[in-house]
Amino acid sequence: MPPRPSAVLRSIATSLRPIATTTPQPLVRLAPSKTTAYQHVRAASSSSSSSSSKFGIRAPPPPTNPLTLRDAQIPYETVQLVDPSSNALLAPQPLKSILSTYSTSTHNLVLVNVDREYPIVKLLEKEVERKKEKVQEDKARVKRLVGMEEKEVQVSWQSAQGDLTHKLSLAKGLLGKGDRVQVVFANRKRGEAVSENRKEEIVKGFDETLGEIGKKWKDDERTKGLWVLYYNPLESVRNEVAKKVVETDAAKKKEKEEKKEARRKKEEERRAKAEARAAAAAAPSS
């Protein structure tokens, strides 16, 4: 059945309706960005840094102290050399001209001052510097060995004479080793009372003996039943202790070197025998 005329007309009218147009909106002018060039650079740097760490690239190391640089590491073209014989400054000269005058196997050129118009350099002999370092190490070792320690000896007022003699010997022995000594006199718990005269007699005996090798560095301290003596060893005692320590240390080092030399000789003998056997084996038989 053909469509009715009215339906056809409505369909045509609908298809011919004007297309809706969008009303143009006014342009909105954007405000200028407040980001500075520094921020852009920083952002780029941050991005680069993050990407670098992302891809496993290490950040550059911190700047090196110039005084730690040596030989060809020195970054200055013209320098002043300290004259090795007179210790006076020579005229400015190219760094390259100095580097060509020595071998780095025996010497080092070091920076000693970079605050002048021309940086100052000094030529050091490695063997001499090693000896200086060894001397300093030996001094430091001896100083540690003879270092003064604080020791305490406790004495009871009620002690028998034999115990007092033992404690006095102990305190004197500590002073003789170069240590600082505190002698602390105190009452024994639930001990019998000791008269002031007896206490002074005991302290006097300690003072007479300890005074032979020591000297008080602080006044006696007296509080109720306590009496404390403060003794340092005499300087002569300290010097004697240091001398003995040095001698003992030198003897140990000598023994160590002798054992090392004996091992070296034994190794040489073993090698010589091995070479002799190899030569005998290689010789043609008659």
CA dist., res. 190 & res. 179, Å (int): 33
Q: How confident is the model at residue 6, as a pLDDT?
A: 54
Asked whether 217 and 230 are in contact (CB, 8 A), the reply is: yes
Measured CA to CA in angstroms, residue 251 lies from 245, 254, 256, 262 at distances of 10, 5, 9, 16
Q: How confident is the model at residue 46, as a pLDDT?
A: 46
Domains of the chain: 69-126 (3.10.20.80), 150-234 (3.30.110.10)
Measured CA to CA in angstroms, residue 74 lies from 94, 117, 256 at distances of 12, 15, 40
CA 94 and chain centroid, separation: 35
Q: What is the pLDDT of residues 61-109, one digit of tens each?
A: 555 677 888 899 999 999 999 998 898 999 999 999 999 999 999 999 9
Q: How confident is the model at residue 39, as a pLDDT?
A: 39
Residue bearing the bigger pLDDT, 253 or 107: 107
Q: How confident is the model at residue 8, as a pLDDT?
A: 46
Please give the mean pLDDT across all residues of the chain.
81
Asked if the model's pLDDT at residue 38 lies above 50, the reply is no
Please name the residue that has the structure tokens 């002031």: 196
CA dist., res. 142 & res. 117, Å (int): 43
Measured CA to CA in angstroms, residue 13 lies from 18, 20, 138 at distances of 10, 15, 114
Q: How confident is the model at residue 50, as a pLDDT?
A: 45
Locate 81 and state its tokens: 């050399």
Q: What is the pLDDT of residues 190-245, one digit of tens each?
A: 888 899 999 999 999 999 999 999 999 999 999 988 999 999 999 999 888 888 88
Q: How many residues does the chain have?
A: 286
165: closest CA among 220, 202, 214? Answer: 202
With the C-alpha atoms ordered 60, 61, 67, 68, is the resulting torsion angle positive or negative?
A: negative
Q: What is the mean pLDDT of residues 171-176?
A: 94
Q: How confident is the model at residue 153, as a pLDDT?
A: 96
E strands, the chain, are 78-81, 93-94, 107-113, 120-125, 150-156, 180-186, 214-223, 226-233
Q: What is the pLDDT of residues 40-66, one digit of tens each?
A: 334 444 444 444 444 445 555 555 677
Identify the burial level of 142 via C-beta atoms within 10 angstroms of its C-beta, where 0-12 means exposed, 13-18 middle and 19 or more buried: middle
